[in-house]
Amino acid sequence: MSSEGPAKEGLAPRLPPIVEASPGSFIFYSPAIPQTVRDVAMSLPTALFDYALPERLIAQTPAVRRDQSCLLVIDRHAHHVTHHVFGDLPRFLRGGDLLVRNNASVLPARLLAQRETGGRVECFLLRPAATGASTAGSTDEWWCLLRPARKLPAGATFAREGAFLATVRAREGDGLARVAFSTPGGESIVAVANRLGEVPLPPYIHRRHTKDERRQDLERYQTVYADRAQQVAVAAPTAGLHFTPELLARLTGDGVRFADLTLHVGLGTFRPIAAENVEQHVIHRETYEISAATQHDLTQPTGRRIAVGTTSVRTIEDFLSRVPSTAAASCKAEAGLFIYPPFTFRGVDALITNFHQPRSTLLCLVAAFLSPGATDGIAWIKEIYAEAIAHDYRFLSYGDAMLVL
C-alpha cells in the first residue's frame, strides 16, 4: 500500500511508501529527515503541521461502545503500525506499567440567557475569578466568554429567569469578561450549570440542542474515571473517553497501575496556531494539581509511564521541569509549556492520544513524541495520519485513538 501523492506547497516532502508486512500491519521505511525540515529545526513553519482533514471523518458522535473505537498502534523503534480496537489495549501493556490520566471533570459550562432587551446571550464559564466557595447570599464571580460580546460591555446585565442574574464587572482585551452571578437562595453558578448548562463541545461538533443529545453528551463527553469533585475542565481530556469500567478492571488484573493528576483543561486546546512559525505562538496556560503519590510514581518509576492524552503529557513534563527528582507535598502550578519538535521528554515513555486538528499545538506535541529530541516526527505524523485517513479513522474529540509505544 502506498500513500504517495503530490507534495503540498510548504509541507515536508513525502516519505517512501508504507509497506504492508502482514494483513493489518504496516512498516514505515526510516529515511533521513527531509532537508526542508532539518533546515527549519530552529524555526518551524506552522505549515509543516497542516494536512487535509476530510470533513466526513470529523466524528460528530462517540462510538456506540467506548472501547470499540479504533486504535492505531505505533511502534516508534520498528516504525511499524497495526490496526486494532481500543479494547485490545491490554495486549500492548504489561504488569508494572503506569497509566497516568487526567481526572478532571467537564463542567456543562455553556449557559443561555437574555439581555434586558430580550436579546439572546451565550455565556461560557471558564474559571472562577476568585478562590473560595460561595455561601448563601454571596455572589459568584467568573471569567467568561460572552456572545454577543460587543453588546455586553462593563456594566451590562443579563439573566435567566428563575436561575440567575449576571452583571459584567469588567472586560479584558483578550475577549474575557469578569461576570458576577447572583442566584435565588444563593445557589452556586456551578450548581446552576449542572442543572441547566449545555456541554461545552468543540465548535466542529454540531448539535440541534435536543434533550436526547444533551443527555448523551453529558455522559459521553466525560471519562468514566472523572472526579466529580474536580469539575474544572471546559473541554474533555478526550484520550480517556475510550476507557470503560470493564477495561480498567481488566488492566488492573493484569498488574497495570494508575496514577491521577488534574489539569484544568481550557478553551485554548481548540485554538489553532495562527502565527507563521510555531515558536511564535503564545501557548495557553492551564492550572494543574498533582498529589504526592502521583509525584512519587512519576519521579521514581518502576515501569513504563504511559500518558493518557496530551493534557497528561503537558502536566507531567511541566512538573518534571520544575521538580526533577524528589516528591514532596501535593503540587499545584500553572502549565505554560509548549511542546513541539525537537523536544526531549523527561517523564513519558508511551502515549495514548486521539487524532488532532491541523495546525494545532496538540499535533505539534504528538510529532515531538514520535521522535524525541529530533524533528523526524513532523514527517512521520503526516504519514501516519494519511494512513488513518485511508482507513477511515474518525478524528478529533469523539474520534478514534493512537497508542504510541
Predicted confidence (pLDDT) per residue in 147-195, tens digit: 999 999 999 999 999 999 999 999 987 789 999 999 998 899 999 999 9
387 and 244 co-located in one domain: yes
130 part of a folded domain: yes
11 part of a folded domain: no
251 part of a folded domain: yes
- Amino acid at the residue 345: F
207 part of a folded domain: no
What's the average model confidence in pLDDT over 73-97?
A: 97
Question: Residue 358's pLDDT is what?
Answer: 97
Q: Determine the structural domain holding residue 257 and report its residue range.
A: 19-105+220-404
90 and 47 co-located in one domain: yes
314 and 284 co-located in one domain: yes
335 part of a folded domain: yes
Judged on CB neighbours under 10 Å (0-12, 13-18, 19+), 112 is: middle
> Does 8 or 184 have the greater pLDDT score?
184
254 part of a folded domain: yes
Question: Residue 8's pLDDT is what?
Answer: 31
Question: Residue 268's pLDDT is what?
Answer: 76
- For residue 61, what is the DSSP state? S
Q: Is the pLDDT of residue 374 over 50?
A: yes
Answer yes or no: are the C-beta atoms of 378 and 333 closer than 8 Å.
no
Place 323 in a pLDDT band, splitting at 50, 70 and 90. confident
101 part of a folded domain: yes
54 and 159 co-located in one domain: no
259 and 305 co-located in one domain: yes
Measured CA to CA, the distance from residue 24 to residue 52 in angstroms comes to 24
Measured CA to CA, the distance from residue 127 to residue 179 in angstroms comes to 11
Tell me, what CATH number does 186's domain have?
2.40.10.240
Q: Is the pLDDT of residue 97 over 80?
A: yes
Measured CA to CA, the distance from residue 320 to residue 293 in angstroms comes to 14
Q: Which three cell numbers stand for residue 360?
A: 494545532
Measured CA to CA, the distance from residue 328 to residue 291 in angstroms comes to 9
Place 3 in a pLDDT band, splitting at 50, 70 and 90. very low
263 and 397 co-located in one domain: yes
pLDDT digits (tens, 9 = 90+) for 237-276: 999 999 999 999 999 999 999 999 999 998 777 788 999 9
- Adjacent-strand bridge partners of 82: 25, 73
pLDDT digits (tens, 9 = 90+) for 347-358: 999 999 999 999
Place 324 in a pLDDT band, splitting at 50, 70 and 90. low
- The angle formed by the CA atoms of residues 248, 249 and 251, to the nearest 5 degrees, is 65
232 and 374 co-located in one domain: yes
The H or E element containing residue 147 is strand 140-147
pLDDT digits (tens, 9 = 90+) for 102-135: 999 999 999 999 999 999 999 999 999 875 444 3
145 and 91 co-located in one domain: no
> Does 223 or 30 have the greater pLDDT score?
223
Number of domains the chain is built from = 2
127 and 224 co-located in one domain: no
Tell me, what CATH number does 96's domain have?
3.40.1780.10
225 part of a folded domain: yes
236 and 382 co-located in one domain: yes
Question: Residue 236's pLDDT is what?
Answer: 95
Answer yes or no: are the C-beta atoms of 360 and 202 closer than 8 Å.
no
Bin 309: left if φ > 0, else alpha if -120 < ψ < 50, else beta: left
231 and 91 co-located in one domain: yes
280 and 386 co-located in one domain: yes
